[in-house]
């Protein structure tokens, strides 16, 4: 089992320090990060916590999954690796030239 955890259904008011404090009773929290919108700076409502060991991570899952934090019931489970996404399409590529007259 991995020691990296996904924490979902977070209140938009929760910050990194709040996650750190919530998970620290279950072991050494190596990192705690709430994911934020790049443009607005608002929370995306989920984050990741890395515990010191797989055993500590399992203890945190068992204790915190489904518990209420900031008015919302947390989803806590082992983080899955990020899946490869197809390249984004759109932008300025392709299309037809314009502007000049054609005879």
The 10s digit of each residue's pLDDT in 37-90 is: 999 999 999 999 999 999 999 999 999 999 999 999 999 999 998 887 788 766
pLDDT mean over 11-22: 96
Give the Cα separation of 8 and 76 in Å (integer): 6
Q: The whole model's pTM is what?
A: 0.79
Q: What is the pLDDT of residue 2?
A: 86
66 contacts 73 by C-beta, under 8 angstroms: yes
């Amino acid at each position: 089992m991995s020691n990296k955890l996904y924490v979902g259904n977070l209140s938009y008011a929760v910050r990194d320090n709040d996650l750190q404090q919530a998970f620290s009773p279950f072991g050494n929290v190596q990192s705690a990060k709430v994911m934020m919108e790049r443009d607005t700076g608002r929370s995306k409502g989920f984050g990741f916590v890395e515990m010191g060991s797989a055993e500590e991570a399992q203890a945190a899952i068992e204790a915190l999954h489904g518990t209420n934090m900031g008015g919302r019931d947390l989803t806590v489970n082992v983080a899955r690796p990020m899946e490869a996404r197809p390249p984004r399409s759109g932008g300025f590529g392709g299309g037809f030239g314009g502007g000049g007259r054609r005879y």
